Amino acid sequence: MRGLLLLALLLLGGCATATPDNVDNVCSIFEQHSSWYKKAARSRDKWGSPIPVMMAIMHQESRFVARAKPPRKKIFGFIPGPRPSDSFGYSQALGSTWKAYKRDAGRYGADRDDFGDAIDFIGWYNYQSWKRSGIARNDPYHLYLAYHEGHGGYNRGTYRSKAWLQKVAGKVSRKSQTYQQQLQSCEKSLQKKPWFFGWF
């Protein structure tokens, strides 16, 4: 009986996905949450976006916090005001964009606070950036600009007047390169891990 109780507690604990301890090392992230590698690989295979690119975008958007929200604006400098958007979850997708993704990808049960759904969304969005804006799916710099500005904004060149955004896109590009170098050292071992290890 006691063993069953402990098992139940373990299963309940697995429902709340913890933020990775080291978000700057993709090998550490996937070692801590091994099912995440399998989910990222599925998104890569489906949409053609490299794992380091997708993970670098997610790092910038939420630092892998499942229920992340944009900070509230301050009224008079100290009173918490409204949030600037309804962005939510790992990918910080807007509600309207998430609905478009679910409809287009046929993933009607997808949740923004689920890693597998969020990484699939990023892969899907990068695929749309390739189709609509002609951005290579292994180009993290321009993919992030389109991710932030939307395809219409990117195609109009709205990012050109935003030096701060270009700087952030550069950070995403460098993070993608770092993740790529790290992944080369651990991907073979990640591929060998049984899929059920990611449950806990």
Q: How many domains does the chain have?
A: 1
Residue 100 lies in a domain: no
Residue 92 lies in a domain: no
Q: What is the pLDDT of residues 139-180, one digit of tens each?
A: 999 999 999 999 999 999 999 999 999 999 999 999 999 999
- Mean of the per-residue pLDDT values of the chain: 88
The confidence score (pLDDT) of residue 71 equals 60
Residue 55 lies in a domain: yes
Q: How far is C-alpha 155 from the geometric centre of its chain's CA atoms?
A: 23
Residue 103 lies in a domain: no
Ramachandran class of 17: left when φ > 0, alpha when ψ lies in -120 to 50, beta otherwise: beta
Q: What is the pLDDT of residues 55-76, one digit of tens each?
A: 999 999 999 999 998 664 555 4
Which domain does 57 fall in, by range?
A: 19-64+112-195
Residue 85 lies in a domain: no
Identify the weakest region by mean pLDDT among 2-6, 68-72, 116-120: 2-6
pLDDT at 193 over 90: no
pTM: 0.86
Instruction: With beta carbons less than 8 A apart as the criterion, state whether 38 and 195 touch.
Output: yes
Here the tokens at position 62 are 């939420």
Residue 48 lies in a domain: yes
Residue 118 lies in a domain: yes
pLDDT at 137 over 60: yes
DSSP code for 71: P
For residue 159, give every residue at least 6 positions away whose Cβ sits within 8 Å of its Cβ, in sequence order, or none: 145, 148, 149, 153, 165, 166, 169
Residue 164 lies in a domain: yes
